Amino acid sequence: MKKGFEKFITALVIIAVLIVAVFLLQNKPVSPVSAETVKCIGQNSLLYTQTGCSHCKDQEDLFGNNLQYLTIIDCIQDGNLQKCVDAKIEATPTWIIKNQSYVGVQTIQKLKELTGC
């Protein structure tokens, strides 16, 4: 009887580990867009954000682990305030693409169209 109970406990532990592993893998930020596309968007745009801005976080989250390829200027960080004033940033997130401003969260598809990517 003891061996049967040990097998049962072992099976429960294995199942629990598998469930946790699946959960962790599902919550890993994976970009729905390729690195090449994000690099292209990043080379043809500027993204102005600010620390604590929930919409900015939503915008950044769309890029998952490819966020590093964007050119992002945080208006709150030291030295960036003047850049944001000079660019006439009134709200964040704001994208500057081909000298045009696009305020608010933009879809990947819209950014691809605007940047020609």
113, 115, 65, 21: CA torsion to nearest 10: 10
Average pLDDT over the chain, rounded to whole? 84
Provide the pLDDT confidence category of residue 81 given band limits of 50, 70 and 90. Answer: very high
**What is the predicted pLDDT for the residue at 78?**
83
Please report, for the chain, the start and end positions of each structural domain, with discontinuous segments joined by +: 1-30, 35-115
Q: Is the pLDDT of residue 20 over 70?
A: no
Instruction: State the residue for tokens 């850049």.
Output: 83
Tokens representing residue 79 in the block: 């030295």
Rg of the chain over Cα atoms, rounded to whole angstroms, equals: 22
Question: Tens of pLDDT along 23-75?
Answer: 544 544 456 789 999 999 999 999 999 999 999 999 999 999 999 999 999 99
Q: Which fold has domain 35-115?
A: Glutaredoxin (3.40.30)
Q: Which residues are bridge partners to 95 per DSSP?
A: 47, 102
